[in-house]
Structure 1
Amino acid sequence: MYYQIWNFFLRDDKYFYWKEKVNGTQHFDHDMWQKIIDFLLLVEQNFSLKAQLGETDSIEPFINLAKENGYNLTPEALAWFVVTRKQIWDLFDMAQKNPSLKNKLLASKNPQQFIKIAQNNGYQFSVEELSWLLIEIKCSPELVSINNSVGEILTVSNYGKIEIGYWIWLAEYWGIVPPFCHINKSENLLKQNTRNPFLLDQCFLPKSYFNQRLISVI
């Protein structure tokens, strides 16, 4: 199934096509972002659906299978989700390889300045999209601590072992990533606040959080 997503959107020729199309159109909202995440989680829990998606050879049957399972997605929405995430991860990867770029990004006074630096280096995404991905990463078990060659503990993502703690801390400082994130929505919260991760009701800390905070002050 993940090969299909790569083949539809991230293969060299497809990626450049969709990247240009995504950058030239209005982006979707957080509801769509979360809907796609929920669909991918469903796929992981449903072996039959995963196998069916794995047999698709074009985007149309892939979208139809999603619709049959209650998810009305479009190729444009999937492309936006996949391409945007790739651009953010690619920026993190490039910053890890380029100390000068990394220092410029870490010196950003606000998320708008961060986005401007990213755009100047060819990476297109919004403050909101950066926030959504960082919150998702922070809440994920994919966030782990490892020792580098000099014994320093780094907070990294299993996605190519890219250091991620720097960006989470920076986003927390700006206020676009909260120290607490909802795992379940409370029934007694007002509707307009149900997506507010800054509320303390029914919040949790990822298991790596205390390591992050400890490392950040050393």
Structure 2
Amino acid sequence: MYYQIWAFFLQEDEYQQWRKNTKLNNNYNRLTWQKIIDFFASVEDNFLVKSQLGEAKNPEHFISIATENGYHLILEELAWFLVTRKHIWTFLDFAQKTPSVKDKLLASKTPQQFVQIAANYGYHFTVDELAWLLTEIKSSPELVPIDNSVGEVDTVSNYGKIEIGYWIWLAEEWGIIAPFCHREPPLNFMSQYGDNPFLPDRCFLPKSYFNQHLISNR
């Protein structure tokens, strides 16, 4: 299944074409984003459906198989979700490798300023899309702590080892994601870094908590 996702949506030529298409026809919302997250979570636990999707010949066939198994997906919705996630991840990876960009982002006073900095470097996404991705990540146990070259502990995603704790912290401060704890308990070994506020098992209220507009209301 994962090869099909890469080949149909994320391989460079397909990715660029879907980027153009979704940029012109982006009318999706948080419910669409969550629906696709739920789809992948469900399929991950269903070996038969996962195997069938792994035999898909093209994007339309992929959607047809999903539909036959009771999932209500639209091709353009799935493409938007996949390419938007990759686009934001690519930008965060770029920022991680470019200290001057990372410093600008960490100094952002608002999420609008953050996405404008991204746009200045050719990465276009909305505040909502950033918030949905960071909320998805914070809700997931797929984060691990690592020591960087100067002895600091960073929270990184298993998706390519991108530091993510900084951006979650900023998003909480801006009020675009809620300061909630994980739905699933974090791994026990993370507790040894209990003084690090960037770890995802740290549940704290940012200063902006009482006047924030939580994403659940969007």
Bin for the TM-score computed over the shorter chain: 0.7 to 0.9
C-alpha displacement at 1:45, in angstroms? 0.5
- Which one-letter code corresponds to 1:91 in the other structure? F
Q: 1:207 to 1:72 in 2, by over 3 A?
A: same
Matched, 1:46 2:46: yes
- Show structure 2 runs of 5+ residues with no match: 199-218
Match for residue 154 of structure 2? 154
Q: Is the 8 A contact 2:142 2:158 kept in 1?
A: yes
Question: Structure 1 length normalisation: TM-score?
Answer: 0.83
Match for residue 142 of structure 1? 142
C-alpha displacement at 1:181, in angstroms? 5.3
Matched, 1:81 2:81: yes
- Which one-letter code corresponds to 1:215 in the other structure? N
Secondary structure of the 2:118 match is helix
Question: Structure 2 length normalisation: TM-score?
Answer: 0.83
C-alpha displacement at 1:182, in angstroms? 7.7
Secondary structure of the 2:196 match is helix
> 2:108 and 2:128 mapped to 1: Cα distance?
16
Q: 1:133 to 1:144 in 2, by over 3 A?
A: same
What is the number of residues matched between the two proteins? 197
Match for residue 173 of structure 2? 173
Q: Is the 8 A contact 1:165 1:212 kept in 2?
A: no
> 2:181 and 2:69 mapped to 1: Cα distance?
28
C-alpha displacement at 1:26, in angstroms? 2.2
Q: Deviations over 1:8-50 (max 9, x none)?
A: 1111111110011111222311111111111111111010111
Q: 1:127 to 1:205 in 2, by over 3 A?
A: farther
> 2:192 and 2:123 mapped to 1: Cα distance?
30
Q: 1:26 to 1:211 in 2, by over 3 A?
A: farther
> 1:8 and 1:14 mapped to 2: Cα distance?
6
% identical equivalent positions: 59
> 1:171 and 1:105 mapped to 2: Cα distance?
11
